Structure 1
Amino acid sequence: MIAMAEAEGALSPRSPERGTSDVEDTSPRAAREALGRENLAGSLAFQGAKPPSQAKANLLEVTAPVRRKLLVHLRDMLKGRMLSDPAMWTWLRSAAGTAIDQMWGDFAHEVERGLHATLVQQQAESDAAGPSGRFSCWWRFRAFVLHHYLPHNRSFFGKLQDPVYIAIYLATLIPIHGVRVTIFAVILLMLMFPGPPDEFQMINFILLFKGMQFLTSGLIAMGLASFKYFRCFSWYKEDPLSCIDASGPGASAMGLAVDYLGSITLVWIAFSLLPASRSLTQRHTALDQDGAGGRLRHLLFYDMKCFAVSLLALFLLTAATCDDVRLESGVVQQFSQLIGQRQFRENVFWCTVIYSLLSLPFTAFAIPGLQTILTHSDPTGYNRQGACVVWRLAHASANQVPRAPEQAYDPFDWYAKVATKVFTVMERGREARGVEEVASWEFRDLSRGLWLKLFRRSQEARARPASAESPSSAPADGKVASFMRQVTSLGREARGGDSPYRFGDFSRGLYWTVKAGRRDSDCPSYPAASVHQVPLGVSSVRFVPEDEEEIDGHVFFCIEVIAEGSLDAEGGAEPWRVGRRYGQFRELALQLG
């Protein structure tokens, strides 16, 4: 075995250097991992939450670059299909591409959040205690309303099975001026006290309120007003104006004022509370997020512009249609005269309808799931005690008695640990290969990363002489690791032994170990003058005819190997003898020349 290794080391061409042990981990991967852990802790550290599964968290952290590349490829494929029409207008192509990029960022963000929430399974306690103390009747009423209207364990379809929710929802649809605003004002009061309010609930209130404004004060009010006009024209042909004045859409002056002014006042009260709101998941508020807060802020400024447009329309209509106001009277008297005029009330009604119809963009957030994507806020809800907790859909098995934490076992943890180790080793192999692009893996990165993990030395250890790194000096840290170090050391010595370890040393040493070991199994044993654990260069080989043996009809010749640095070569190592058959000797002689 030793002779075969010597011959290969002395005469075989050296393999190209595929990787060395002095490859250092200089990638900013550690900084990215620390940032990922910080974001994960900030996104999922719920109040009263159970500690997350570290194996799953590590798996999500390691595979994050792969998911990002996959999502980028999906986005590019989607854009390519949607914008593939060569006849599409240039401005439309640019606008559509920008919209896809923005929406895809929201989608990718929610994919990550959903994976963390699903795999790590970190959630707040659903039976948390609600507010109590004085005014117990109010607290019980608050808990009852919020639990049924904004529950923590029901989706939209689940709420449709709740009679209390249906009653509150239908009450907000009543086309009576002031009813919708009054109901939402009470709900806003419940959300504000006790403070601080929840971030998601403030955002949800704004979107719900504006969506109901479009539906109630816009579409329903416009349809009902058309029916009233038709009724007065059909049944009161002699005096339709009296009918419109008595029962027309602008008959209730106080209700019109509450509906018109309350539609913008409540929204901006809730929006002003967002900076002081808290988040159960300890994430940044919606005001600080580019996707959520920026988009919500733009929508609210759009709402303010719509209100200003409706006020301008009211001023122009009043100036054109209300000519009975005495200009010489005071401002208070002029306003009282305007309110008393049926024409002014009609103007206010239709300006309210216009303002409500312009709230159409807010209705997009009413689509289930879209609100979470567009606002980047983690859903919350209220339990039976009136406490705000993390929203979690109730399943059929929710009534089963949960197992104790020490008895709980998730088999996915084991698979997550194995996958995390594999991806980590492949990432190390990619960095050793010199590729900077994250997650650009090859199959060989697995073996390269494994080799680096087992044999990477510090800078001081790599500077030691080759004899100090022989297999006999390998630490006893396991039979497998010790064997691999011996084989690698054999492979390095076979190619010269002066340079640092290379990636091909293990395969070279393993090849000669197996090949020479198979030949030695049929060879007789000869007493050696010295047992050499480390292969040396061959100086000369000679026959020893007196030591020939015949075993099972095969003649084995005794070969005395004199190594470089031996006593016969004026060195310090003695020669040794090995037994070889003629065919083996002929092959060795050809290699030695």
Structure 2
Amino acid sequence: MWISVRDRLARLIDLFWDDLTLYIESVVFDAQEQILNRAADHRALAELGPQPMCCGPRWLRAKLLYSYLPFDISIFGQIKSPFFLLLTVISITPMFGIRVAFFTLILLLIIAGRPPDEYQMVTFILTFKGAQFLSSGVFMACLAAVKYYMCVKPGGTHTCDTEGPGVSQDLVTSSVDFFGSCLLVWIAFLLLPCSRSFGGVRDIAEEKESKSEVSGCCHDYDPGRGGRLAGLLGYDLCCFLVSCGLIYYLTMLDVASRGELQNALDQDLLVDLQRWQFRSRVFFGRILYGLLSLFPS
């Protein structure tokens, strides 16, 4: 094995082992606190901040964030809530820019905390990439296979220009989903240094004392927020560029097959943006980007 690959694998294994050790220690500590009846996280966190007025803007914000990103409920408890299932369906809908619009709303609600919570920001990034893998990756790949099977007819004919994958989706909403999937997570990552950690029974007293001193979003700027997310976001950017490269490469292959001179090539390139083949290429670029999002999620 190459020395560079071996060293990188060794570092990844060490990082994974450290994270696993910390996770096991936290689980054991929480279990001990539960046995000794000293786990007061919920009561202490409930006392933080003023009580929002029922059905007011802050109440709606808290209700939506707690329903989708709760701090004290596992996934097995969340799936019992019909509201959570509805939000999950919305979050994995890749058509018409619905998924990007939903996560934009979630990000705005998190930022409205002033300063935003570090746990919620990190969870937002990981949840968004996981939803992208399921919707733009797995779901759209299955949809593309079914669409191609249905549009190819006996005798060598096809109706892929009207029934093919991605043909029915307009270029604007496809571009919103494609570029928004990269832009939103980077906005959240760049805002991480302005976030603060409000949860945890170990730090609850310090947070109560310092809460009154917070006067702005970046009052407590810390570039170390988010841990090793920088490497994952760098990988995500590379995946986005690879997907853009795939769309560009397929477009140039198709255009070059129809034009011989450079002028004709440039004219065909502009015309190609209106063809059904280009919408299909964007569709497959989104699939590739979604499938490659498995690692960051």
TM range (shorter): 0.7 to 0.9
Contact 2:143 2:165 in 1 (8 A): no
Q: Which residue of 2 aligns with 1:250?
A: 167
Aligned-partner Cα distance in 1 for 2:160–2:23: 56
Paired letter, 1:125: L
* DSSP 3-state at the match of 1:322: helix
1:201 deviates by: 0.5
Q: Which residue of 2 aligns with 1:102?
A: 15
1:341/1:243 CA distance change after superposition, 3 Å: closer
Aligned-partner Cα distance in 2 for 1:131–1:200: 21
* DSSP 3-state at the match of 1:273: helix
Q: Which residue of 2 aligns with 1:303?
A: 236
Higher strand share: 1
Q: Deviations over 1:93-148 (max 9, x none)?
A: 87665444322322333455456655464532325456858xx7543432332121
Contact 2:165 2:283 in 1 (8 A): no
1:313 equivalent to 2:233? Answer no
Q: Find 1:357's aligned residue among 283, 291, 295.
A: 291
Structure whose CA Rg is larger: 1
1:261 equivalent to 2:194? Answer no
1:250 deviates by: 3.5
1:90/1:176 CA distance change after superposition, 3 Å: closer
Aligned-partner Cα distance in 2 for 1:259–1:276: 26
Aligned residue runs from structure 1 range 401-416, under 5 A: none
1:90/1:233 CA distance change after superposition, 3 Å: closer
Paired letter, 1:101: D
Q: Find 1:193's aligned residue among 78, 98, 112.
A: 112
Contact 2:90 2:99 in 1 (8 A): yes
1:335 deviates by: 7.9
Q: Which residue of 2 aligns with 1:347?
A: 281
Query: For structure 1, which runs of at least 5 residues remain unmatched after alignment?
Result: 1-88, 364-593
1:307 deviates by: 1.1
Aligned-partner Cα distance in 2 for 1:220–1:174: 9
1:327/1:202 CA distance change after superposition, 3 Å: farther
Q: Deviations over 1:135-182 (max 9, x none)?
A: x75434323321211224321100010000011112223342412111
1:242/1:344 CA distance change after superposition, 3 Å: closer
1:126 equivalent to 2:46? Answer yes
1:279/1:168 CA distance change after superposition, 3 Å: same
Identity %: 33
CA RMSD after TM alignment: 3.6
* DSSP 3-state at the match of 1:254: helix
Q: Deviations over 1:516-574 (max 9, x none)?
A: xxxxxxxxxxxxxxxxxxxxxxxxxxxxxxxxxxxxxxxxxxxxxxxxxxxxxxxxxxx
Contact 2:94 2:177 in 1 (8 A): no
Q: Which residue of 1 aligns with 2:189?
A: 271
Q: Which residue of 1 aligns with 2:216?
A: none
Higher helix share: 2
Aligned residue runs from structure 1 range 538-553, under 5 A: none
Aligned length: 267
1:303 deviates by: 0.7
Contact 1:199 1:285 in 2 (8 A): no
Q: Find 2:128's aligned residue among 172, 189, 209.
A: 209
Q: Deviations over 1:428-469 (max 9, x none)?
A: xxxxxxxxxxxxxxxxxxxxxxxxxxxxxxxxxxxxxxxxxx
Paired letter, 2:17: W
Contact 1:232 1:240 in 2 (8 A): yes
* DSSP 3-state at the match of 2:273: helix
1:225 deviates by: 1.1
* DSSP 3-state at the match of 1:274: helix
* DSSP 3-state at the match of 1:178: helix
Q: Which residue of 2 aligns with 1:505?
A: none
Aligned-partner Cα distance in 1 for 2:107–2:237: 20
Q: Which residue of 2 aligns with 1:226?
A: 145
Aligned-partner Cα distance in 2 for 1:116–1:285: 30
Q: Deviations over 1:59-91 (max 9, x none)?
A: xxxxxxxxxxxxxxxxxxxxxxxxxxxxxx797
Aligned residue runs from structure 1 range 7-406, under 5 A: 98-114=11-27, 118-119=32-33, 121=39, 123=41, 124-126=44-46, 128-129=48-49, 137-234=56-153, 238-244=157-163, 248-252=165-169, 253-280=171-198, 281=200, 287-288=223-224, 293=227, 295-322=228-255, 337-363=271-297
Aligned-partner Cα distance in 2 for 1:319–1:215: 29
1:287 deviates by: 4.9
- 248-257 or 200-209, larger mean C-alpha shift: 248-257
